[in-house]
Amino acid sequence: MARTLVGLCCFLIGTPGLLHAADGQQKLSTEVLAVFAAKCARCHGPDVRKPKGRFGYVLDLGRIARNREMIVPGSPGESELWELVRRDEMPPPDSPTGPLSAAQKKTICAWIKAGAPARNPGPRRRFP
């Protein structure tokens, strides 16, 4: 029994598809965080004294993903955040950071479709 469990763990750890999926989510989290930092944090960031819309945690991906009023993981069409982005309401037309590019919108949509992963975009430990 123990031998089977060890074998299964080794198989799962060594499965390239699982590693690539984790790397993909890591990359997507990093990319969406960069978009939010560049385009949203000035009005909705943690350093804003009075964040607009009482939403000052745009750089906390986990908290955004848990807020079902904003995000329905896996479903951009049901996600208020995506609808605001899709309709060019966020950032607003008078935003000092300017509008989102098509690529930035695509990143946000892909992040929501992927389940709004909230992986820490910091360095990952590699095993030999």
Identify the pLDDT of residue 120: 56
**Residue 121 burial (CB < 10 Å; 0-12/13-18/19+)?**
middle
Q: Is 25 within the bounds of a domain?
A: yes
Q: Is 83 within the bounds of a domain?
A: yes
**Residue 70 burial (CB < 10 Å; 0-12/13-18/19+)?**
middle
Q: Is 51 within the bounds of a domain?
A: yes
Q: Is 90 within the bounds of a domain?
A: yes
Q: Is the pLDDT of residue 6 over 70?
A: no
Identify the pLDDT of residue 46: 93
Q: What is the domain count for the chain?
A: 1
Amino acid identity at 103: A
Predicted confidence band of residue 54 (pLDDT cuts 50, 70, 90): confident
Angle (CA) 74 90 55, round 5°: 80
Q: Provide the residue range defining the domain that includes 102.
A: 21-113
Strands (E), the chain: none
Q: Is 5 within the bounds of a domain?
A: no
This prediction has a pTM of 0.76
Q: Is 31 within the bounds of a domain?
A: yes
Above pLDDT 90, what percent of the chain? 69
